[in-house]
């Protein structure tokens, strides 16, 4: 099979298209022939070495396709089933072997491309808005990179729950995307002080929660955009990892809450994975949310996709098509 592997960490140039044997499904595992693989910012962290992985490594964490074969003791899947998964390594490939309890069935009226585009970001959005900080009709929310794949989903989920959403973007084109997703107010972070604007838009009070996938350039200033006892949800490092802070700073800024969540802890059990996935697919089927697939690339063009993602030249989800 073909796959995208790294033998050393570095820039997009370290991504290599290789030929290797497909994995064999061990007991309790399912061999999936992938039809689409999601590209996520965390993949660039693995590639660069920010999040270390054992080398050599096939990158990628999510995908969707059809069951090719099943290992012994598998009871819920059979060849031909349409399936998807989040948070499983070695997904930039034509095949991947997945533990049965980490796999979900895809409804017939949800395309496999849409399933691959929605699993990791969609389930992350579910966890962030329903568990990390349960958004309500009274919430005033600031979402950084509101026109990105994760940002658009968060905007939609917060609006679904009746919150007021302030989104930060870099261009008017991205502002329009964020508005279409439901953002009530837009801040152009290249031209405006997002802290001052967030304060102005909330009559000086500050927002209840910030969903920050940008990291280094927005994290520390963002603490000043929160109301007293507000919550900073840092879930990405697109601009690099923030510098460490003294916990006393949270007290000085207004008894703030800070969390650095990861999806796995919110789908650690099969029951959690199924419940969040069922909600996600229901929203997609009922047009309560939409996923914007920006571009699709063959496996061999993974480096191009990474360059676009890191250069903030995307407005939605990127997929690899094996």
pLDDT of residue 313: 82
Q: How far apart are CA 225 and CA 206, in angstroms?
A: 5
Residues of the chain with CATH 3.40.50.720: 137-260
Q: Give 287-310 pLDDT, tens digit per residue.
A: 999 998 999 999 999 999 999 999
pLDDT of residue 136: 97
pLDDT of residue 185: 98
Classify domain 2-120+264-321 by CATH number.
3.90.180.10
Specify the pTM.
0.93
Residues of the chain with CATH 3.90.180.10: 2-120+264-321
Spans of the chain below 50 pLDDT = none
May I ask the CATH class of domain 137-260? alpha beta
Q: Give 155-180 pLDDT, tens digit per residue.
A: 999 999 999 999 999 999 999 999 99
Compute the half-sphere exposure of residue 296: CA atoms within 13 Å on the CB side of its CA.
12
pLDDT of residue 322: 95
Query: Do 157 and 125 contact (CB within 8 A), yes or no?
Result: yes
């Amino acid at each position: 099979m073909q796959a995208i592997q790294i033998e050393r960490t570095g820039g997009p140039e370290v991504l290599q298209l290789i030929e290797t044997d497909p994995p064999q499904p061990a007991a309790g595992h399912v061999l999936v022939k992938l039809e689409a693989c999601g590209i996520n910012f965390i993949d660039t962290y693995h590639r660069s070495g920010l999040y270390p992985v054992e080398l050599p490594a096939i990158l990628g964490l999510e995908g969707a396709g059809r069951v090719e074969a099943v290992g012994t003791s598998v009871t819920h899947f059979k060849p031909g089933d349409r399936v998807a998964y989040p948070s499983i390594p070695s997904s930039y490939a034509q095949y991947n072997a997945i533990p049965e309890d980490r796999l979900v069935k895809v409804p017939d009226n949800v395309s496999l491309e849409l399933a691959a585009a929605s699993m990791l970001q969609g389930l992350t959005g579910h966890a962030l808005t329903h568990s990390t900080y349960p958004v309500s009709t009274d919430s005033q929310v600031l979402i950084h990179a509101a026109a990105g794949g994760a940002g658009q989903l968060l905007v939609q989920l917060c609006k679904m729950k009746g919150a007021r959403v302030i989104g930060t973007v870099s261009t008017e084109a991205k502002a329009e995307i964020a508005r279409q997703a439901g953002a009530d107010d837009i801040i152009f972070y290249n031209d405006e002080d997002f802290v001052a604007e967030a304060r102005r838009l909330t009559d000086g009070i500050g927002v209840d929660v910030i969903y920050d996938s940008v990291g280094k350039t927005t994290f520390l200033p963002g603490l000043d955009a929160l109301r007293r006892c507000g919550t900073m949800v840092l879930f990405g490092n697109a601009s690099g990892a923030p510098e460490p802070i003294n916990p006393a700073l949270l007290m000085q800024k207004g008894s703030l809450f800070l969390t650095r969540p990861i999806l796995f802890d919110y789908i650690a059990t099969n029951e959690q994975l199924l419940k969040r996935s069922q909600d996600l697919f229901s929203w997609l089927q009922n047009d309560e949310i939409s996923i914007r697939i920006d571009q699709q690339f063959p496996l061999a063009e993974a480096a191009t996709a990474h360059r676009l993602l890191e250069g903030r030249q995307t407005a939605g989800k990127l997929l690899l098509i094996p």
